[in-house]
Structures are given as structure tokens and as C-alpha cells.
Amino acid sequence: MNIVLFGPPGAGKGTQADMLIQKYHIPHLSTGNIFRAAIKNETELGLKVKSILDEGGLVEDQLTVDLVAEELAFARYNSGAIFDGFPRTVFQAESLDKLLAKKDARIDFVFSLEVPKEELIRRILSRGQGRTDDTEEGIHNRLEVYNKETAPVLAYYKEKGLVHDIDGIGTVEEIFGRIAGFLH
């Protein structure tokens, strides 16, 4: 089963991914983790990513897709994955569809965690992860970028009938129950 988790910063994607992993034993594919591992292992792609990030740039679509393709080649993903942080653009979504098609697979579910902006800000400020942009202004900027980047991707998956809007307010267990209800 291949699941894409969508949601703005603070929506609870990581928490819900952890619960999906525990219950369904589906591996988690996070582009952030892939970037960090490629950099740490000093792979050719990792060195490219490091130089881009060191300059304060964003990793371009094709390089991100290449890293995900490299990761998807591992046997642990043969039965599916939980995608978190990917795809972020329509190009990445189309590329993911092609990568999965080569494995006779497809995206089965896209869960969009819906949380009001005020709650997102409250959550991010209260979790104390210490990001330099964990200020109200920084959070507003991150949310604006998220809304610009992801709206077209959600529209892409909505056209395919794959998106399930999930109310992201409630206890972690309540939210997980809403997601799990689609998986039975």
C-alpha cells in the first residue's frame, strides 16, 4: 500500500506516519531523511544536495526524484511506502506515478491533514524544536510557501479521486482513527 501524507507544518504528519508504521508495518519514505542519509554517506547525489543546501538553495525537482528513485529500489518498499514530504510539486507527483508504475504499483491513498492556521501556529510554537524560523512571522512564511506549492499537487491527486481530507483536530488517536477508517 502506498500512502501520501499531506499537511502543512504542524499538522501532525510525522506523528501519524509513526502510527501507520506501527499498525500496518509500512516503511516511511521521508525526503528529509533521504537527503540527510545521502549527505552522510557522501553519495554522488548526496554531495550535490549538500552543496545546494549549503548555499541556502532548494533541491530541484529532478534531483529529489532521482534520490527517491534510488531509495525506492530497496526491497523494503516492494509492498509500499508512506510518503512524507514528497511529492511537493506536480512534476514530482507525476514522476512518482511513473516510478511506482515500473513496480506495478500506484498511490492508493492521499491523506490531507486539515488544521486551522491558528492551531498550526500554536502547535509549532509549543513544540519547541528550536528551528530558527519557529517565530510567528517565520511560520506564516512557511505556511504561505506550503499553500503555494501543495495546492496544485492536491488538485492533481483530487482529479484521480485519491484525496481524503482528514480533520486534524482532536487527540492523536482520534485523528489516526479517521485515517485508519479508510484503510480497512
CA distance 174 to 16: 11
Is 13 among the residues known to form the active site?
A: yes
Task: Count CB neighbours of 55 within 10 A.
Answer: 7
Q: Active-site residue among 106, 131, 158, 160?
A: 131
Please pick, among 127, 148, 158, 178, the residue that the annotation labels catalytic: 127
- 142 given a catalytic annotation: yes
Which entry of 142, 158, 160, 178 is annotated as an active-site residue?
142
Clarify whether 127 is annotated catalytic: yes
Do 120 and 8 form a contact (C-beta atoms < 8 A)?
A: yes
Query: How many CB atoms within 10 Å of residue 133?
Result: 12
Q: What is the rounded distance in angstroms from the CA atom of residue 175 to the CA atom of residue 25?
A: 18
Active site residues: 13, 88, 127, 131, 142
